[in-house]
A and B are shown apart, each in its own frame.
Chain A
Amino acid sequence: MKTNNPHGDDAPLDALLQEWKPKPSLPPRFQEQVWRRIERAETAPTPTVTLAQLFAAWLATKLPRPALATAYVAVLLVVGASVGWSQARQETARITTELGARYAQAVDPYQSTP
């Protein structure tokens, strides 16, 4: 077998190196410490994410996307226009009724004042 040894063939050394298995020495009470750390990690409270944080994250990452931003502005445009239209209808009906009552009151003195 050809070796990668740049200094030439040194078969005994290669064999020795292949047989070598390092035995690392663990620090004292290693296993116990590992279990303790696992236990601590399991009992530690999971960090809670508040709604404000979620909203801030959404604001920073999701909303600036062109498609979502366009949809968001379009939806608010439609909502604003719809509410305006609905309120305008109510106000128009109120004023029309009021003016009709005023006309009736002007020509008919028997109308009772509300």
Chain B
Amino acid sequence: MRRGLLILALGLVVAALAYCCVYFMGTATPRALMQSAQPELAWLKHEFNLGDAEFTRISQLHAGYLPQCMERCRRIDQLNDTLSNALATTTQVTPEIEKLLSERAQMRASCQTEMLKHFFEVSRTMPPEQGKRYLAWVRENTCLREEAMDHGNDNHATTTTPAHQP
């Protein structure tokens, strides 16, 4: 009986050890990515098989792009606030609202153009095949892929409930 129990326990210990070994070996790469200084860039390096020189260049491009991107976002936020205030005080489309809408649309277009320029620059830094893969990936996973137009026929529109009257 004691020998049987020992064998039973040995089997369970072996199963647990096998699980841990395989699990930790299998997740070693993603865990290393998560622990790096910039996980998303480490992911880019791993995903697109970048060499150290390419990765350094892309990190520089990334670091140069982000502050400009944030500045454009700040200006779009400002325009959104101004437009929101203007809409709250009128019941028709005034020339000011028209100007603000146009300005915001221009700012968004400029933002997307700069983003696209950045994507192309990054892709050119990569080996050609990986560059193609990268562009295909950003086309699918960024705002470059516009959502299909929807007039509510699918009943998927997400809106907030109108505020109650005081």
Contact = CB atoms under 8 A, between A and B. Distances in A.
Interface of A: 56, 58-61, 63-64, 69, 72-73, 75-81, 83-85, 87-89, 91-92, 95-96, 99-104, 106-111
B155 interface: no
B69 A107 contact: yes
Interface string B1-34: 1011101101110111111111111110111011
Interface residues of B, number: 50
B48 to A, nearest CB: 11
A100 B43 CA distance: 7
Interface of B: 1, 3-5, 7-8, 10-12, 14-27, 29-31, 33-34, 39-44, 47, 62, 65-66, 69, 73, 111-112, 115, 118-119, 137-138, 141-143
10 closest A-B pairs by CB: A88-B26, A84-B22, A80-B15, A80-B18, A99-B43, A59-B4, A110-B143, A95-B30, A103-B40, A76-B15
A102 B40 contact: yes
